[in-house]
Structure 1
Amino acid sequence: MASRTNPRSALGLLARTKQFVQIPKNATTTSRNVARQLHTRTRPAAPILSATTRPRLSSRATTPALAGALLRPQGARTIFIQTEPTPNADAVKFVPNHRVIPESINVPYIEYLNPRSTISPPYPSPLAANLMNVEGVTSVFYGTDFITITKDPDANWAHIRPEVFALITEAVTSGQTLVNTVEGKDGASAAEEDSLAYDENDSEVVGMIKELLDTRIRPAIQEDGGDIEYRGFEDGYVSLKLRGACRTCDSSTVTLKNGIEGMLMHYIEEVKGVHQILDPEEEISMHEFAKFEEKLRNQRGSQE
């Protein structure tokens, strides 16, 4: 344990590890690679990142998808909506080159999981409501400057993409506010703070966990069209919840266990493991996926 007169921080601990851990420039235990162990089947290794370096979106393959004119009193300019693939085949990240969450709203992400949530406090969104009305769309996730659309596994992207492009373009070019702030019935906005934000009541270990998650893991997950939520630390185990594209990804458990858990345990000795927090529908989905994998294994065994 660190002395009281010399408090630790995640970044300080990372710096001190250089005294006994030699990490080559092409090491795979970087924030982006470690946080994405699950994606090694479909993604190449990423270069090492410093503790404060955010992955650049331009390093990923993007597809210019749609352009529209954004008219303003001073003149006109062209906007381009880019799409980026995610590790989840049922989720696509749309980047409109336009801020999605207003600066006045101090949250890292907003997630809409059903039509009712798009019109309910604290952050109703006309655009999200329209997107949820597209046949096959199951959830809408807003990052600071991107939108992740998740579809039903049986739906076809060929039918969904054109409608999504049209709705996002119309919302941006019309100048409408993408997200509103509405007070709840009790008069409070009911806004939730960033779970990784600094809290003076946090213990030293919790502060280190949050710092490591925020600086080394969150940027990589955001680039995949999602985010991560800290839910607590108890008896050596960190409780986390994945959001956006990562929430319904079949291999989200592998992401937590082989990626995030490995990094936290490597740098913070008090961490024994990671627990994934699931919604009821996520538990059902993962249970069905496990049954499907077991069925495939049995079929292979019988053929051999």
Structure 2
Amino acid sequence: MTPSDIRITAEPIDNGRCKFLVSEPVHAGGVRRFASRDEAQGSPLAEAIFAIPGADVAEIIVSGNLVTVVKQSAAPWPVVGKAVGQAIRSTLAGDRPAVAAKPAPAAGSPTADDALYERVADLFDQQVNPMVARHGGRVELIDVQDAVVMVRMAGGCQGCGMADVTLRQGIEAMLHQHVPEVRGVVDITDHTAGSNPYFAAAKK
């Protein structure tokens, strides 16, 4: 595989967040979240994205063929996105895995994230999914890492123009009320693949 074989589409959420949908698998080992350069060590893709000049990248989430980048700079996504695209292509075409496997916790020692996962899953079953089901949607709890909840939307929520409003004003607000230890929520959905996508994907 050469870099030119890899196709990437960008889905800006706002000036601080953008999803990049890649034609090739980026990481098949579940969800990986990187919140610093130190955490990115050993994962060439995360290292390269954190190193983009002027982007001030704060967070990277990788799942399957989706890469979500959170930045703090005012640089526009058309500029930063080109550098992200180059990082994705070069690392996927390299000899090393673009993203290292998530370190396994010590056997028999449940983590704080494990306990949070159970509480969040219970809230999703009892309140979140009954709420979105009224509009034909469903929200899947994917993982909890460093108290950040990863979700994937489906049904009427996937590709819906109000998906981000549902996430921020509905799901995130509900989590902060009932599970205040949660630090944030990340949507790893490919909204361009929904039945009525609100985003016209742009190639990078």
How has the CA–CA distance of structure 1 residues 243 and 181 changed in structure 2, closer, same or farther, with 3 Å as cutoff? closer
Verify the 8 A CA contact 1:125 1:180 in the aligned structure 2: yes
Within 5 Å, give how 1:93-112 maps onto structure 2: 93-102=19-28, 105=29, 107=30, 109-112=31-34
Deviation for aligned residue 1:85: 2.7
Partner of 1:31: none
Within 5 Å, give how 1:36-47 maps onto structure 2: none
Verify the 8 A CA contact 1:218 1:228 in the aligned structure 2: no
Percent identity over paired residues: 15
Verify the 8 A CA contact 2:40 2:47 in the aligned structure 1: yes
Amino acid at match of 2:45: L
Number of residue equivalences? 159
Deviation for aligned residue 1:180: 2.1
Verify the 8 A CA contact 1:256 1:274 in the aligned structure 2: no
Verify the 8 A CA contact 1:241 1:276 in the aligned structure 2: no
Distance (Å, rounded) in 2 between the aligned partners of 1:127 and 1:147: 10
Partner of 1:171: 91
Deviations 1:47-71 (A, max 9, x none): xxxxxxxxxxxxxxxxxxxxxxx24
Unaligned runs of 5+ in 1: 1-69, 220-226, 232-239, 265-272, 283-304
Amino acid at match of 2:22: P
Verify the 8 A CA contact 2:32 2:102 in the aligned structure 1: no
How has the CA–CA distance of structure 1 residues 206 and 243 changed in structure 2, closer, same or farther, with 3 Å as cutoff? closer
Distance (Å, rounded) in 2 between the aligned partners of 1:195 and 1:158: 38
Partner of 1:114: 36
Deviation for aligned residue 1:166: 0.9
Partner of 1:125: 43
Verify the 8 A CA contact 2:12 2:77 in the aligned structure 1: no
How has the CA–CA distance of structure 1 residues 77 and 155 changed in structure 2, closer, same or farther, with 3 Å as cutoff? closer
Task: From 66, 85, 88, give the equivalent of 1:146.
Answer: 66
Unaligned runs of 5+ in 2: 131-136, 152-163, 185-204
Pairwise CA RMSD: 4.7
Distance (Å, rounded) in 2 between the aligned partners of 1:96 and 1:183: 24
Amino acid at match of 1:138: A
How has the CA–CA distance of structure 1 residues 191 and 101 changed in structure 2, closer, same or farther, with 3 Å as cutoff? farther
Amino acid at match of 2:138: R
SS at 1:180 equivalent: coil
Partner of 2:181: 277
Partner of 1:83: 10
Deviation for aligned residue 1:212: 4.7
Deviation for aligned residue 1:171: 1.4
Distance (Å, rounded) in 1 between the aligned partners of 2:92 and 2:47: 15
Deviation for aligned residue 1:277: 3.4
Deviations 1:162-219 (A, max 9, x none): 21111111112235311223768x987x998x969x98xx9xx679459959x92138
Within 5 Å, give how 1:1-304 maps onto structure 2: 70-71=1-2, 78-86=5-13, 88-102=14-28, 105=29, 107=30, 109-119=31-41, 124-135=42-53, 136=55, 137-181=57-101, 208-209=125-126, 212=129, 216-218=138-140, 229=144, 241-243=148-150, 253-256=168-171, 261=174, 274-279=178-183
SS at 2:7 equivalent: strand
**Rg: which structure is higher?**
1
Higher strand share: 2
Distance (Å, rounded) in 2 between the aligned partners of 1:175 and 1:80: 19
Distance (Å, rounded) in 2 between the aligned partners of 1:255 and 1:152: 24
Distance (Å, rounded) in 1 between the aligned partners of 2:102 and 2:23: 26
How has the CA–CA distance of structure 1 residues 163 and 255 changed in structure 2, closer, same or farther, with 3 Å as cutoff? same
Amino acid at match of 1:217: V
Q: TM-score if structure 1 supplies the norm length? A: 0.40
Amino acid at match of 1:216: R
Distance (Å, rounded) in 2 between the aligned partners of 1:95 and 1:257: 24
